[in-house]
Amino acid sequence: MNDLMERASALALNLRAARVDPNEAQKALAYLRIRKDGKAYFAYLQAIVNDGRAVIRSNQTIEYYRNLLTASQRHLRDLSPQDMALTLAWAIRLLRYYNAVPEAERQPLDVVHASSPQPAAHLPSASQPLPAQPSPSQPQPAARPASAPSPTPSAAQASPPVDIPQPGEVFTGAVLEVDEEAVAVQVKNFNPKRVIGVMRAEMIPDRNTTKYAKGNNARVEVIAVQQRGDKIILELKPAPKRK
């Protein structure tokens, strides 16, 4: 997953730099998912670039596909059709995010694997709704003398952990948005702009995202935690109902 997410991030940056319309990229993704054939996907893009003016009147749209073909050849060529679709789907989501939040494309992408979960204390404090500032009435720690040794790494990590669900944990959250690609789920009482859960269609039986409705609750399990700048994204899958 780490390699695919890094590819998706690089692909999204390329598409963003080329000003590719995410809606056109979404059409190419739909074709790839239907055919499940990487060679057919590249042939489809090449056909549009070569002969698309027969059905596409806009030179700008042709340019979108030309740039999408170039970026896909760079980042998707050696992947299986399933991994190609997964990487392109994430790249399109990141592209939409970059278009909405331009400064986000300059922030590094960090991924925490479900197979090697990190202690909650390592997650950034930005995942809390707002960082607490000490009030003037609160006692301040005494200044450490210049000769005092620096705290050891173990002491520096002794801060209280943030209350973010970790891989393997199950929780119930309100459904925020639903489309054919994913379901967005609220994470406990966190601001969705800081912490949000995303359940990809690939994780839902028959890719049927319509079984979830905005405003209803969804019982989900965390399979990975991703840090994107000051935002935390929990990758989710459906959790079995309580017995």
Domain residues of the chain, as ranges? Answer: 2-106, 110-127+163-243
If you average pLDDT over each of 21-30, 50-59, 138-147, which comes out highest? 21-30
Please state the length of the chain: 243
- Please state which of the ranges 137-146, 172-181, 219-228, 231-240 shows the lowest mean pLDDT: 137-146
pLDDT at 152: 43
Q: Is the pLDDT of residue 122 over 80?
A: no
Q: What angle do CA 97, 84, 89 make, to 5 degrees?
A: 25
Average pLDDT of the residues of the chain: 77
Q: Which among 230, 159, 153 is positioned nearest to 191, based on CA atoms?
A: 230
Element (H, E) at 26: helix 22-35
The percent of residues in the chain predicted with pLDDT above 70, rounded, is 71
Q: Which one is predicted more confidently, 118 or 233?
A: 233
Query: Residue 155's pLDDT band (boundaries 50, 70, 90)?
Result: very low
Do 25 and 66 meet the contact criterion of CB atoms below 8 Å apart?
no
Average pLDDT over residues 61-89: 93
pTM as predicted: 0.47
Q: Is the pLDDT of residue 28 over 70?
A: yes
CA distance 206 to 83: 18
Average pLDDT over residues 3-8: 87
**Region label for 14, one of left (φ > 0), alpha (ψ between -120 and 50) or beta (otherwise):** alpha
The residue type found at 219 is R
Number of Cβ within a 10 Å radius of residue 192: 16
CA distance 7 to 17: 15
Q: Is the pLDDT of residue 104 over 70?
A: no
* Angle between helical axes of 59-75 and 38-51 (0-180°, round to 10): 150
Q: Is the pLDDT of residue 199 over 90?
A: yes
CA distance 132 to 222: 27
Number of Cβ within a 10 Å radius of residue 223: 18
Do 221 and 239 meet the contact criterion of CB atoms below 8 Å apart?
yes
Q: Which among 222, 242, 228, 241 is positioned nearest to 164, based on CA atoms?
A: 222
Q: Which residues contact 53 (CB under 8 A, 6 or more apart)?
A: 62
Q: Which one is predicted more confidently, 130 or 67?
A: 67
Domain 110-127+163-243, CATH among 3.90.1720.10, 3.90.600.10, 2.40.50.140, 1.20.120.10: 2.40.50.140
The beta-carbon contacts of 192-196 under 8 Å, at least 24 apart in sequence, are 193/231, 194/126, 194/127, 194/128, 194/129, 194/230, 194/231, 194/232, 195/127, 195/164, 195/231, 195/232, 195/233, 195/234, 196/231, 196/232, 196/233, 196/234
